Amino acid sequence: MIESGAMKTIFVPGGAGYVGSVLVPLLLEKGHAVRVLDWYLYGEEALDSVRGHERLTEIKGDIRDTDLVRRVAEGADAVIHLACISNDPSVDLDPELARSVNFDSFRPLVKICKASGVRRFIFASSAAIYGPSDASEVTEAHPLNPITDYNRFKMFCEEALWQETSPGFTTVSVRPATICGYAPRMRLDLVVNILTNHAVNRDRITVLGGRQRRPNIHITDIAGLYLFLLECPAGKISGKVFNAGHSNLFVLELAEKIRGVVGKRLPDKRNIPIEVIPNDDRRSYHISSDLLKRELGFVPKRTPEYAIHEILDAFEAGKIPHPLEDDRYYNDRMMKATAIK
Which domain, by its residues, includes 292? 9-179+217-245+285-301
**Residue 235 maps to which CATH number?**
3.40.50.720
Is residue 49, in this structure, part of any structural domain at all?
A: yes
| 3 state SS of 170 | strand
Is residue 260, in this structure, part of any structural domain at all?
A: no
Cα–Cα nearest to 81, from 2, 10, 140, 130 = 10
247-to-11, 49, 218 alpha-carbon distances in Å: 30, 30, 10
Question: In this predicted structure, what is the pLDDT of residue 133?
Answer: 87
Cα–Cα nearest to 103, from 112, 93, 91, 114 = 91
Is residue 119, in this structure, part of any structural domain at all?
A: yes
DSSP 169: B
- pTM here is 0.96
Is residue 35, in this structure, part of any structural domain at all?
A: yes
Summarize the confidence of residues 54-72 as an average pLDDT. Answer: 98
125-to-70, 103, 120, 253 alpha-carbon distances in Å: 23, 12, 16, 26
d(CA 172, CA 174): 7
Please report which confidence band the pLDDT of residue 209 belongs to, taking 50, 70 and 90 as the band edges.
Answer: confident
Are 156 and 101 a contacting pair, CB within 8 Å?
A: no
**Number of structural domains the chain divides into:** 1
Summarize the confidence of residues 291-296 as an average pLDDT. Answer: 98
Are 11 and 72 a contacting pair, CB within 8 Å?
A: yes
Is residue 341, in this structure, part of any structural domain at all?
A: no
Beta strands in the chain (DSSP E): 9-13, 33-38, 56-60, 78-81, 120-124, 170-176, 178-180, 205-208, 213-218, 240-244, 247-250, 274-277
Question: In this predicted structure, what is the pLDDT of residue 6?
Answer: 66
Task: Please determine, for residue 38, whether its predicted confidence score (pLDDT) is greater than 80.
Answer: yes
Is residue 114, in this structure, part of any structural domain at all?
A: yes
| 3 state SS of 4 | coil
Please report which confidence band the pLDDT of residue 238 belongs to, taking 50, 70 and 90 as the band edges.
Answer: very high
| 3 state SS of 93 | helix
Is residue 46, in this structure, part of any structural domain at all?
A: yes
DSSP string, 59-71: EE--TT-HHHHHH
At position 125, the amino acid (one-letter code) is S
d(CA 175, CA 289): 10
Question: In this predicted structure, what is the pLDDT of residue 150?
Answer: 95
Task: Please determine, for residue 319, whether its predicted confidence score (pLDDT) is greater than 80.
Answer: yes
Please report which confidence band the pLDDT of residue 5 belongs to, taking 50, 70 and 90 as the band edges.
Answer: low
With b meaning 16 or more CB within 10 Å and e meaning fewer, what string describes 188-212?
bbbbbbbbbbbbbeeeebebebbeb
Task: Please determine, for residue 341, whether its predicted confidence score (pLDDT) is greater than 80.
Answer: no
Is residue 193, in this structure, part of any structural domain at all?
A: no
Task: Please determine, for residue 2, whether its predicted confidence score (pLDDT) is greater than 70.
Answer: no
Interval 189-206: pLDDT, tens: 999 999 999 999 999 999
